[in-house]
């Protein structure tokens, strides 16, 4: 809540700060860090203990599914982008946000199961203490899943994954993971 | 250890599957699991085979694990929003929607109270989701499902006894029914609901069913005759 400086073209609010009424205020108790760029400087506040990063709307996060019901699934956010979090955040994926197409016909039990690792995008915040995630893109969805026998499954299509030991196929909403580096022969 | 059909098997045994059926499918029932190229047993019991390619393990169970499509007898324990919570003897209570009854609409609520007994069918049952019940079939008709009338008696027995008395080869229910009029609802979750005209007849039929656990089919017929004679003599 402490006022740091004027918010103008030369001073931009970074993480740990917010802009209000033309001034930049701090949100955390910590140390001010000024990052100088060509013509402007970013004002950040770093807390002395713990990470300063929290899920922001639009971020892609990695979450683990804990509970699945008919209308939504609860999960726990483990990483934001590339940063692994020291403390988990709770999130929900609603039935309407699982798939971009055919929102009425989606069955959550055929998209996610408890224990799956999913990639999701954070939606604008509505509730306190829980984030809403969406997997309604081709690149989002289940990345790692385990079959009923506890073995890691291999994706066979956008809607199914197969266990390499029992050859049983299980339905999931599979993410299209694009490799970062492609080797050219 | 390799086993054949009709043997008593333990978890970890490997089945000797016939190799001549390479083009056909092998259907693995409860108690069997495929591991790479072998078929492993996962529950202890007797290995059985039906037809050419259906195998399963007949095991002794008391604890019910919900399976999609089973008809079960349950007790309504709670109402939350527009669903009832029903206790069917499994690890989680099942949910039964208001609209899953014949002729039910949002304005026309079914007459179901806490403590009522329902005979319902499992619509969805999975390891990770709570079981869902319906009291109406896919055509919207009630059939035999729904709330059971008052004045009945509920008792539990093991799951293999349920499968035994529902087997067409078992004549027990028919023989008892020819002399003693009764109403019965057999739930695959090990619970039976029984209604007769008097307490004596109820106790006689309950005892007859429970005693049939360890009897063969031919012995069951003589058991039923004994029970009927004893009732007439009283």
Distance from the Cα of A48 to chain B's closest Cα (Å) equals 41
Prediction ipTM score: 0.71
Q: Specify the pTM.
A: 0.76
Residue B25 in contact with partner chain A when CB distance is under 8 A: no
Q: Domain limits of chain B?
A: 2-58, 71-147, 153-232
Beta pairing partners, A33: A44
The answer to whether B129 contacts A167, with C-beta atoms less than 8 Å apart, is no
**Beta B83-87 vs B71-80: how paired, if at all?**
antiparallel
The residue ranges of every structural domain in chain A are 3-47, 59-171
CA distance B71 to B186: 8
Give me the architecture of the A59-171 domain, per CATH: Beta Barrel (2.40)
Does the domain formed by B2-58 have CATH 2.40.50.100?
yes
Backbone φ/ψ region at B191: left (φ over 0), alpha (ψ -120 to 50), beta: beta
Show the tokens assigned to A56. 């922001």
Among A109, A149, A167, beta carbon nearest to B126: A109
Mutate: best of A165, A169, A170, partner B, most B CBs <10 A: A165
Domain B153-232 has CATH 3.30.1370.10: yes
**Second-level CATH architecture of A3-47:** Beta Barrel (2.40)
Q: How many residues does chain A have?
A: 185
Helix spans in chain A (H): none
Nearest CA in chain A to B33: A166
3-state SS of chain B: helix, strand, coil percent to 5? 20, 30, 45
Q: How far is Cα A70 from Cα A98, in angstroms, rounded to an integer?
A: 12
Average pLDDT over residues A6-32: 83
- H or E segment at B80? strand B71-80
Interface of A with B (CB under 8 A): 68-70, 109, 113-114, 148-149, 165-168
B35–A168 C-beta distance less than 8 A: no
Looking at domain B71-147, its CATH class is: mainly beta
Q: A132: which 2 tokens?
A: 């809403």
In contact, B190 and B62? CB cutoff 8 Å: yes
Domains B71-147 and B153-232 share a fold: no
Q: What is the pLDDT along chain B (234 residues), one digit of tens a residue?
A: 667 778 888 888 887 665 555 567 788 888 888 887 788 888 898 888 888 788 888 888 889 999 899 999 999 999 888 899 999 999 989 999 988 888 888 888 888 889 999 999 999 888 888 899 999 887 777 788 889 998 899 999 999 899 888 888 888 888 888 888 999 999 999 999 999 999 988 998 999 999 988 888 888 888 888 888 888 886
Q: Are A168 and B129 a contacting pair at CB < 8 A?
A: no
Q: Name the CA dihedral angle for A91, A93, A94, A99, rounded to a multiple of 10 degrees.
A: 160
């Amino acid at each position: 809540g402490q006022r740091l400086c004027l918010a103008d073209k030369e001073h931009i609010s970074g993480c740990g700060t917010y802009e209000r009424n033309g001034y930049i205020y701090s949100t955390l108790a910590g140390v001010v860090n000024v990052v100088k760029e060509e013509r402007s400087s970013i004002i950040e506040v770093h807390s002395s203990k713990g990470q300063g990063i929290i899920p922001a709307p639009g971020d892609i996060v990695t979450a683990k599914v804990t509970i699945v019901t008919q209308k939504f699934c609860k999960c726990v956010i483990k990483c934001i982008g590339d940063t692994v979090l020291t403390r988990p955040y709770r999130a929900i994926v609603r039935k309407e946000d699982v798939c971009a197409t055919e929102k009425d016909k989606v069955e959550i039990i055929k998209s996610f199961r408890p224990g799956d690792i999913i990639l999701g995008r954070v939606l604008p915040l509505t509730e306190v203490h829980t984030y809403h995630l969406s997997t309604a893109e081709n690149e989002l969805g289940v990345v790692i899943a385990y079959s009923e026998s506890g073995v890691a499954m291999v994706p066979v299509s956008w809607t199914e994954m197969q266990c390499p030991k029992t050859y049983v196929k299980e339905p999931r909403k599979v993410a299209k993971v694009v490799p970062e580096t492609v080797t050219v022969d | 250890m390799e086993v054949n059909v009709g043997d008593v098997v333990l978890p970890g045994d490997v089945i000797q599957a016939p190799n001549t059926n390479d083009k056909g499918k092998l259907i693995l029932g409860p108690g069997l699991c495929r591991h790479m190229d072998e078929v492993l047993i996962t529950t202890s019991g007797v290995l059985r085979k039906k037809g050419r390619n259906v195998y399963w393990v007949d095991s002794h169970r008391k604890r019910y694990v919900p399976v999609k499509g089973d008809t079960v007898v349950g007790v309504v324990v709670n109402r939350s929003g527009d669903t009832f919570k029903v206790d069917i003897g499994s690890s989680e209570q099942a949910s039964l929607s208001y609209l899953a009854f014949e002729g039910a609409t949002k304005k026309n609520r079914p007459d179901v109270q806490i403590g009522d007994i329902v005979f319902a069918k499992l619509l969805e049952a999975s390891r990770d989701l709570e079981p869902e019940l319906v009291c109406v079939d896919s055509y919207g008709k009630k059939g035999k499902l729904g709330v059971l009338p008052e004045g009945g008696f509920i008792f539990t027995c093991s799951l293999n006894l349920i499968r035994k008395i529902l087997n067409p080869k078992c004549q027990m229910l028919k023989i008892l029914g020819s002399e003693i009029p009764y109403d019965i609802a057999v739930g695959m979750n090990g619970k039976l609901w029984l209604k007769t005209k008097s307490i004596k007849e109820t106790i006689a039929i309950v005892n007859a069913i429970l005693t049939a656990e360890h009897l063969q089919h031919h012995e069951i017929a003589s058991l039923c005759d004994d029970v009927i004679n004893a009732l007439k003599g009283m």
